[in-house]
Amino acid sequence: MGAARFWGVSFLVAAALLVLTRGLIGNEYFFFAGYVVLQYIVLSTAWNILGGYTGYTNFGVGAFFAVGAYSSVVLHKLTSLPVPVMILVGGLMSGILGFGMGYLTLRLKGVFFAIATLALAIVAQTFIVNWDYVGGSRGIYVIRPQQAPLYGSYIQYLYSLMLILAWVSVAIARTIERSRLGLGFNAIRDDELAAEAGGVPTLRLKLISTTLSGALMGMAGAPLPYYVTYLDPASSFNLSYAVNSVAMPLIGGMTSWVGPVIGAVLLGTIQQLATVTISSALNLLIVGLLLIAFVIIAPNGIVGLVQARRRARLR
């Protein structure tokens, strides 16, 4: 399937999903939980562009996510822009952060790069904690507008936006995967020196990867203040965003766009169910256990499992 066709088909799927869920489901909680699952589709897809395709592990997901969220806080205090515009601005801010991080750290490889991203998250959090205008360590209340644009409740509105964002990020990932750019990313992941010797401008491609990945994460974070209505650094920079965004592609499979989607839907849904039925503290335990299980049983994720089976059948 060509890229244009994929955009079209995935748009129809997303639109159908939107119409069906909003038309048929009356329970407000569905949209509350669905928003989180969709948000993780965006986050894990974004993570996978840098982590899966290009081979650089980013543990600083929380920083990008929170920069998107806090840019919305600033915009909320200064202006009365609609949320879609805030999403774009949030994406721009964290895209800039991604570019900066890329420029400063991409000479580092493997585990050293991962540590640097973790440090970035701490630096960004410290910055926000000490910035009184956005609430500092106290956090800040964000009052939602009374009326959602279009029809339905505000949560349904945010859910719809996140669904659109999920569609866009998945379609971007799929487009990259089958493109010259994606092949270049793969070459960097496999062997940077050989990629450079083959004419791949590795630094430029890595910057594209960090910028794009960061921008999508920020876009996922931008509606957060309206979703939670109270935003504080401890929860918005939470390490669980990074853990989940790494775990989901790992469980789903990192080589293809499907992997992060499967991982996010699976893990996100289980977490939401566990939160309601058992306890919210159980979330990370579930992630941990699943991660261990997958590393042992299916190191290439669910997609890898399916591919291996298909290859075995062909032989």
Partner 1 sequence: MPPLLEVDGLGKRFGGFVALEGIDLAVNTGERLGLIGPNGSGKSTLVNCLCGALHHDSGHITFDSRAIDGLPAYRRTRLGLARSFQLPRPFRSLNLVDNLRIPLLYTVNARPGTRLSESAIDERCLALLYDVGLADKAARLPRDLTQVEMRKLELARAVASAPRLLFADEAMAGLSPSEIEEILVVLLRLNEQGITIVLIEHIMRAVMNFSTRLVVLVAGQKIADGAPQEAIRNPEVERAYLGE
The neighbouring-strand residues paired with 230 are 141
Whether 272 and 36 have beta carbons less than 8 Å apart is answered as: yes
Burial 5-25 (b: 16+ CB within 10 A, else e): ebbeebeeebeeebeebbeee
Cα–Cα distance for residue pair 124/130, rounded to 1 Å: 10
In whole angstroms, the minimum distance from the beta carbon of 196 to partner 1 comes to: 4
Is the CB of 111 or the CB of 193 nearer to partner 1?
193
Q: Which of 9, 194, 278, 289 binds partner 1 (CB under 8 A)?
A: 194
User: Judged by CB under 8 A, does residue 183 bind partner 1?
Assistant: yes
User: Judged by CB under 8 A, does residue 125 bind partner 1?
Assistant: no
Is the CB of 31 or the CB of 53 nearer to partner 1?
53
The single-letter DSSP state of residue 9 is H
In whole angstroms, the minimum distance from the beta carbon of 174 to partner 1 comes to: 17
Neighbours of 182 (CB within 10 A): 18
Query: What spatial distance separates the first Cα and last Cα of the chain, rounded to whole Å?
Result: 25
Cα–Cα distance for residue pair 61/315, rounded to 1 Å: 41
Cα–Cα distance for residue pair 18/34, rounded to 1 Å: 11
Q: Which of 54, 125, 202, 245 binds partner 1 (CB under 8 A)?
A: 202
Cα–Cα distance for residue pair 266/272, rounded to 1 Å: 10
In whole angstroms, the minimum distance from the beta carbon of 207 to partner 1 comes to: 13
User: Judged by CB under 8 A, does residue 206 bind partner 1?
Assistant: no
User: Judged by CB under 8 A, does residue 201 bind partner 1?
Assistant: yes
Site map (CB under 8 A) of partner 1, residues 237-266, x = contact:
------------------x-----------
Specify the stretch interacting with partner 1 by CB under 8 A; choose among 64-72, 86-94, 132-140, 179-187. Answer: 179-187
Q: Which of 21, 175, 186, 307 binds partner 1 (CB under 8 A)?
A: 186
| Binding positions for partner 1, rule: CB under 8 A | 180, 183-184, 186-187, 189-191, 193-203, 255
